A and B are shown apart, each in its own frame.
Chain A
Amino acid sequence: MLRYLKRNPSLAVGIGLLSVLVLFLLVGMVLIDPEDARPLSAPALRPPSWAYPFGTDRQGRDLFAAMVVGTPLTLRIGFIAGILGVVIGTILAFVAGFYRGIVDTLIRGIADIGLTVPGLLILIIIAVSVRGGLTVNQMALVVASLAWLNPTRTIRSQVLTLRERGYVEVARLSGMNGPEIIFFEMIPNLLPYLGATLVNAVSAAILASIGLEVLGLGPLEAPTLGMTLYWVNFNAAIINGWWWWWTAPIAIILIVFLGLFFMTVGLDEIANPRLRRSV
């Protein structure tokens, strides 16, 4: 595995970045008291110091604690939405691509229409309609409602190619039925592609959730990355010169996205042997 990482630098960098983040979170969990992420737990607007490594914000949150508590929440939204999106997408893609016919036309039609409508718009409308604000899990479901559209389309194309493979025909001649062929012959070959799609979907979901939160439509009490940026905006932190308030969340967002991006590139290389630069 390590040897492979040497030949796939993108994957190595991606895994590396995300590992650094996880390490930070693990160390942080040990060092902080989760209560410190709440407002009024520290003096307001302190720049970074030994007592408060990331400084504090206007509501008196210890920003280090806030990041350690909030980042996993953001990641959780992304993962739940991404996984749901890919699972639903895969099922629909196989039903459409393998069996073709009217079911295919239907699923494809819905996905195509869904993809043309601006996603953020739909999410905003859904978020605004939910009374009483959203919890973190509800955020995940809201984002998941659209996360399956792209995976359905892309995985369907892969299914269309795979079903023409010689081994699928041989499986048919060996007495396997449709679902068996899908599970045992086709899905194993799609795993790298599904992996890349999953990382992509998680990335998109995190972006969508941060987008909603920055607009103020997220869970107000949770110190997620997006919500922190919302407060940064709300309090005009940039103009006021409280640079530490927005540096921390942006740095973490950068690491998350760069890490996920490099992982996608790396997984793409596994999924598509023609991209490989070495044997």
Chain B
Amino acid sequence: MSALAVRGLRVSFDHPLGLVRAVDDVSFDLRPNERFGLVGESGSGKSTMALAIMRMIRPPGHIDGGDILLGGKNLATLSAEDVRQTRLAGIAMVPQGSMNALNPVMRVGDQVADAMRDHDKKPVGIGALMARVGLPAGTADKYPHELSGGMKQRVCIAIAMCLRPTVIIADEPTSALDVVVQRQVMRTLADVQRDLNAAILLIGHDMGLMAQFVDRLGVMYAGRLVEIAPIAEIVRRPRHPYTEMLIASLPSMDHKDALRGIPGLAPLLRDLPSGCAFHPRCPKAQDRCAIERPEPREVESGVLVRCHFA
């Protein structure tokens, strides 16, 4: 059974100029102990999806449909109180920019204790928790401003793991950190995952990071999942034209390319192109692409693509 199964999730926002479809019929499985990556540009809907899974979407946003199955329970239909209890205990999240969201007037150890108390657990073992995320002794008594960015991020990871959830969602956990600290934090995340036997959903836009960290990768474009495959497959042979161009647009350290970007602009989520959302920018687009929306097809075992020509 999957640790987390998302089926046909749809999230939209009410905007005076039109309905914004942030997440449009997204389905994927997160297997136990797996590292699953979700990559996409800003505006592709990936952060919204993370929030939707945690049932943290507020008006004018709403979940329009779909199931979010966490080990048998459907988070989409659970009552508010049950969802609150599941958060952190069953599924935890390290949100984007969380290191800047730590309470500046509380010691970080107390903030972890706070989370535990909220779930009726005794706030014990915080020192050990800090050590497990690689923080030096005495960190629990410090205030956020006394810690570096990498250390703050690791505190957030400690908060996310304190109740031993089965799934951890990390939304751009290292975007504000430099490469050296990034590696340390990702290493911590990997250790935590092994420690808890948990599954990790890593959301980001850095393909290099995904290639080095995750087992399977999902690619999002304009609110839709356009490709899901094991990471080795995606690196070796990306099937969707967007995935291909995304990998090509990243600078490598091996050879100097003529710097290649993806022409055109990402579409506005409230004004999506007809048919396949990528067709205006796709070099392989044909007439069919503007009319018919591609459905996910399993082109090989474990490789799903939304493209008419994959």
Chain A residues in the interface with B (C-beta under 8 A) = 3, 278-279
Q: Say whether B16 faces chain A, with CB atoms less than 8 Å apart.
A: yes
Q: Say whether B264 faces chain A, with CB atoms less than 8 Å apart.
A: no
**7 A-B pairs with C-beta separation under 8 A:** A3-B16, A278-B60, A279-B13, A279-B14, A279-B15, A279-B16, A279-B60
Residue interface bits B1-39, CB-to-A below 8 A is 1, else 0? 000000000000111100000000000000000000000
Q: What are the residues of chain A within 8 A of B16 when measuring CB–CB?
A: 3, 279
Please give the distance in Å from B97's CB to the nearest CB on chain A.
15
Smallest Cβ-Cβ distance to A277: which chain B residue:
B59
Chain B residues in the interface with A (C-beta under 8 A) = 13-16, 60
Q: What are the residues of chain B within 8 A of A279 when measuring CB–CB?
A: 13-16, 60
Q: How far is the CA of A186 from the CA of B114 in the complex (A)?
A: 42
Closest 6 CB pairs of A and B: A279-B15, A278-B60, A279-B60, A279-B16, A3-B16, A279-B13
Q: What are the residues of chain B within 8 A of A3 when measuring CB–CB?
A: 16
Q: What are the residues of chain A within 8 A of B13 when measuring CB–CB?
A: 279
Q: How far is the CA of A278 from the CA of B15 in the complex (A)?
A: 8
Smallest Cβ-Cβ distance to A7: which chain B residue:
B16
Q: How far is the CA of A278 from the CA of B14 in the complex (A)?
A: 9
Smallest Cβ-Cβ distance to A278: which chain B residue:
B60
Q: How far is the CA of A278 from the CA of B13 in the complex (A)?
A: 11
Q: How far is the CA of A279 from the CA of B16 in the complex (A)?
A: 8
Q: How far is the CA of A3 from the CA of B14 in the complex (A)?
A: 15
Q: How far is the CA of A3 from the CA of B13 in the complex (A)?
A: 18
Q: How far is the CA of A3 from the CA of B17 in the complex (A)?
A: 12
Smallest Cβ-Cβ distance to A279: which chain B residue:
B15
Q: How far is the CA of A278 from the CA of B17 in the complex (A)?
A: 13
Please give the distance in Å from A55's CB to the nearest CB on chain B.
49
Please give the distance in Å from A186's CB to the nearest CB on chain B.
26
Q: What are the residues of chain A within 8 A of B60 when measuring CB–CB?
A: 278-279
Please give the distance in Å from B59's CB to the nearest CB on chain A.
8
Smallest Cβ-Cβ distance to B15: which chain A residue:
A279
Please give the distance in Å from A231's CB to the nearest CB on chain B.
51
Smallest Cβ-Cβ distance to B17: which chain A residue:
A279
Q: What are the residues of chain B within 8 A of A278 when measuring CB–CB?
A: 60
Please give the distance in Å from B58's CB to the nearest CB on chain A.
10
Smallest Cβ-Cβ distance to B20: which chain A residue:
A279
